[in-house]
Structure 1
Amino acid sequence: MANLPTPDFTFDPDAPGACIAGVRPFRNGSYRLDAETDSGKFIIHNYGHGGAGITLSWGCAAKVRDIVQSHLVNSNDKDVAVLGAGVMGMTAATRLLDLGLKVTIFSDRKPAETTSFKAGGQWAVSVIEYEGKRQELKEILKTAFTTFKGSIGQGFGVSERDNFTAKRSENLDAVLNLVPGLIPEPVPLLLPFEGHENQHGFRYRTLLIEPPIFLARLETDLKARGATFVVVPKKFASKADVFSSVPQKTIVNCTGFGAMVLWKDQKMAPIKGQLAMLPAQPALQYLYGQNGYMFPRADHVVIGGTFEVGVCDEVPNKSDCQDLVRHIASLFGKAPVMPLPDIHIHHPDNAPMVNPAIV
């Protein structure tokens, strides 16, 4: 394989938008995807997907649609509320519109302000637990991947990409273990770029979903199909607050980490992640992941991988972002080799709690 271009790692952490941070909504044991009746409301819960929200979105949305469709057999309720304007909420709303329902999306944030918008965008199983839900997760992955792949070239910001790694990727191997054949097996090879001369590694083939494009397209399509977005003036403080403020009797709860407060879900745990946003480099078309990652998108070259369990703020740390860039640059021979900073890419050893079901 011919040598591929090497990234330009010039980075100014003080530049506007150069450093961003978000909080992954991790749920110990498993994500929550089920339904209950409470205070006369039919609630479908769809949250706790950790760092895999975009990856699982279309698959979870299909499950939400199926739950609501079964509920409609004994109900004439055609008016549905969705809580949350991130990727889980908007994909669920899209599938509910397919049932001919009237959909209203309630959120204290606009889509471009959500954690989903801050995601890196590789299609892979990140930090998520699925205790007792292995078969369900397999179905979700199949549906999600098939839907994303079918949208390539249609303005959703989805493309097929190579992801090079120096070692086997836990995140992509998790997909292969759960659903063999869904993505190609990795190819062993000499890594084809500067800084890795004669270094053995692997080439995976997966998808890149660019959140700024994908979420904007979802929002545009939802509005065009008649969905209503309601930005609530302040966060809901409790489940009772939701019930008194949302008139619909059918509610899809896609509040992510907010479910810890609203539904008193003590299995939820925040995991802060930070991203360094380098200027876009159109010549770069491959991903790289190992103790941090690099995803070249249309808007930026995104470098990430920080993993801070129990930290719930969205304030970026410029020093951490700079260290992360230097570390990835050193792997390409573009910076002195330095001790690995306090960064961790998503994999089992970095789970908030030890559980053999984590992938």
Structure 2
Amino acid sequence: MRNDRRRFLGLLAASPWLVSCAARTAVRDAPVAAPPTTPEDLSALATELEAELTGRGFALPDLREERVIRQLAGVRPYRRGGIRVEGESHGGFPLFHNYGHGGGGLTTAWGCAEEVARMKTMAGFVRGSRVTVVGAGIIGLTTALRLQEDGHRVRLVFRETTPHTVSDVAGGQWAPSLMAWGSGPSAGPRRDRILRDSLRRLRAEIERDVGVREVPNFVAMGYGASVGKMAGEYLPDATWHDAIPIRGLKMAGTQVDTLLIEPSRYLAALWERLRRGGVEEQVAELAQLDEVRQFGDDFAVIATGMGARELCQDSAMRPIRGQLVLLEPQDLGYLFSHAGGYLFSRGDALVLGGTVERDVEDPTPTASARERILSRHRRFFAPQA
């Protein structure tokens, strides 16, 4: 593939007629500009011509107002000093905490569930032990399912469940964003373990057809997206494009192949598996930790997101509101990250994000954020149309 591309570039450089023909093909009926002469211009033209002739290029998004469906907002459960994934004895009752994941819940849920499974095993809880898991977002569901896999009798206690959790509002890209990992000698190895365990579990879900798939994320040149920091260590090496392979888009950038998790489909699939495994469901809102004893189980896991601030009296919890605009689904086949936001092409919607509003815990979307998100994406893509 790389050799074919070099040959293609060589032909372009060697043939003025082909350059002129390529320019006409790329812009169709527009006036033909001066032939490109620099290597960068030739590479960009090669990508565009290749996309036109082979059909392999991706399409630009349609961001017209009539395609807008709705706006969403959710409050990310960020924890200063690092996520809380640890055990304690609360008045003699064994508790395990699993919260504070910020904007990385979908990304790290399975890895953190594996951490809880290790801790409870070290604490001596074996197959048949009864556990209460408090919280039914992605963290609670994956933890409950992981413990169910170990043969525990699982009770899931929740105030709200899908589609009304913060996890349902997530964009869905695999990238640990807006979360802290803590400090000390164990923080790095734990981070590595969590990310690798999460990827392993999520990649195994792809063949199940439950809303998890591998997809390219194109990152505009000069923008340091969080997913880019994962390339080469957890995700495949990034690929540099002199011209990103989107028809009509004329800019350089990188491609990082990551995972996309569609929240509505994936959360529903987790619930289905839990119910097949015999999970006991209980709607309740706990006001204080002591109340977790009332269920009579052997141990409990707290996975309540921002709710842990009051339930666990954890002052390190800090809300960060995020807002999204959803458009009608468009089968683009890619994600895109640029300085003005991000775009995720999901099966249920084209997702435009987003906002980072620290210390804002009102989950009500605002008209100003809607217009800001839309205008930034329209400005970014419009000049390329």
Kept after mapping to 2: 8 A contact 1:58/1:143? yes
Aligned to 2:91: 39
* Match 2:335 to one of 287, 291, 304: 287
| 1:191 partner amino acid | I
* Match 1:238 to one of 288, 299, 319: 288
Corresponding position: 1:201 with 2:253? yes
| 2:289 partner amino acid | K
Deviation, structure 1 residue 77:
7.0
SS at match of 2:207: coil
TM-score (norm 2): 0.80
Aligned to 2:72: 20
Corresponding position: 1:86 with 2:137? yes
Aligned to 1:163: 217
SS at match of 1:112: coil
Deviation, structure 1 residue 245:
4.2
Over 3 Å counting, the alpha-carbon distance change for 1:252 and 1:193 in structure 2 is same
**Could you list the runs of 5+ residues in structure 2 that have no partner in the other structure?**
1-46, 52-56
| 2:273 partner amino acid | D
Q: Deviations over 1:210-241 (max 9, x none)?
A: 11111000001100110122122xx322223x
* Match 1:266 to one of 315, 318, 321: 315
Matched pairs, number: 325
The alignment's C-alpha RMSD in Å is 2.0
| 1:149 partner amino acid | R
Percent identity over the alignment is 33
Question: How do 1:184-199 residues align onto structure 2 when only pairs under 5 Å count?
Answer: 184-189=236-241, 190-193=243-246, 196-197=249-250, 199=251
Q: Deviations over 1:269-328 (max 9, x none)?
A: 00000010100112x100001231100111000111201000001101133112201211
Kept after mapping to 1: 8 A contact 2:174/2:261? yes
Kept after mapping to 2: 8 A contact 1:110/1:231? no
**Could you list the runs of 5+ residues in structure 1 that have no partner in the other structure?**
337-359
* Match 1:126 to one of 177, 180, 196: 177
Over 3 Å counting, the alpha-carbon distance change for 1:322 and 1:168 in structure 2 is closer
Aligned to 1:226: 278
| 2:378 partner amino acid | A
Answer 1 or 2: higher relative contact order, Cα 8 Å, separation at least 6.
Answer: 1
Kept after mapping to 2: 8 A contact 1:196/1:331? no
Q: Deviations over 1:236-277 (max 9, x none)?
A: 22223x335443230101011111111111111000000101
Aligned to 2:148: 97
Question: How do 1:173-192 residues align onto structure 2 when only pairs under 5 Å count?
Answer: 173-176=228-231, 180-189=232-241, 190-192=243-245
Q: Answer with 1 or 2: which has the greater Rg.
A: 2
Over 3 Å counting, the alpha-carbon distance change for 1:334 and 1:11 in structure 2 is farther
Aligned to 1:110: 161
Aligned to 2:193: 139
| 2:169 partner amino acid | K
Deviation, structure 1 residue 151:
1.4
Runs of 4+ in 1 over 6 A off after TM superposition: none
Report which of the two has the higher share of helix.
2
Aligned to 2:123: 71
Aligned partners of 1:268 and 1:38: how far apart in 2?
Answer: 20
Kept after mapping to 1: 8 A contact 2:127/2:151? no
Aligned partners of 2:356 and 2:384: how far apart in 1?
Answer: 23
| 2:62 partner amino acid | D
Q: Deviations over 1:118-172 (max 9, x none)?
A: 1000001201111221110101101111111121131221111110111353412
Kept after mapping to 1: 8 A contact 2:292/2:300? no
Over 3 Å counting, the alpha-carbon distance change for 1:61 and 1:76 in structure 2 is closer
Kept after mapping to 2: 8 A contact 1:31/1:129? yes
Aligned partners of 2:62 and 2:286: how far apart in 1?
Answer: 43
Question: How do 1:46-65 residues align onto structure 2 when only pairs under 5 Å count?
Answer: 46-65=98-117
Kept after mapping to 1: 8 A contact 2:128/2:153? no
